[in-house]
């Protein structure tokens, strides 16, 4: 009725599947790449400030397009 001893050569039956590890590594690499691009400025000027005019108001494409049609 006693269980056999577990030796050091026996693996756990709840090991993480290989595909989970691969996707985790890919996700970490992509996040690190985005952080590096953001910190170095290589990625360009992206963000909320890209869609504003110098006065600080937001430029909406639908409003700008409506002004062109009325002219």
Secondary structure (3-state) at 52: strand
Say whether 58 sits in a helix, a strand or coil: strand
Query: Which pLDDT tens digit goes with each residue over 12-47?
Result: 678 999 999 999 999 999 999 999 988 887 877 666
- Residue 4 in this model has a pLDDT that exceeds 80: no
Number of domains in the chain: 1
Residue 21 domain-assigned (yes or no):
yes
- Does a structural domain hold residue 6? no
- Beta-bridge mates of residue 15: none
- pTM of the entire structure? 0.47
Which carries the bigger pLDDT value, residue 63 or residue 8?
Answer: 8
Q: Is the pLDDT of residue 63 over 80?
A: no
Residue 65 lies in a domain: no
pLDDT given for residue 23 in this prediction: 98
* Per-residue pLDDT reduced to its tens digit, 5-21: 666 666 667 899 999 99
Domain coverage including residue 23: 17-45
Which of 69, 70, 49 shows the shortest CA–CA distance to 59?
49
Tokens 């039956």, located at residue: 13
């Amino acid at each position: 009725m006693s269980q056999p001893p577990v030796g050091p050569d026996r693996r756990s039956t709840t090991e993480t599947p290989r595909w989970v590890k691969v996707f985790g590594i890919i996700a970490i690499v992509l996040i690190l790449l985005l952080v590096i691009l953001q910190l170095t400025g290589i990625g360009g000027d992206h963000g909320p400030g890209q869609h504003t005019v110098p006065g600080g108001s937001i430029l909406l494409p639908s409003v700008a397009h409506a002004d062109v049609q009325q002219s």
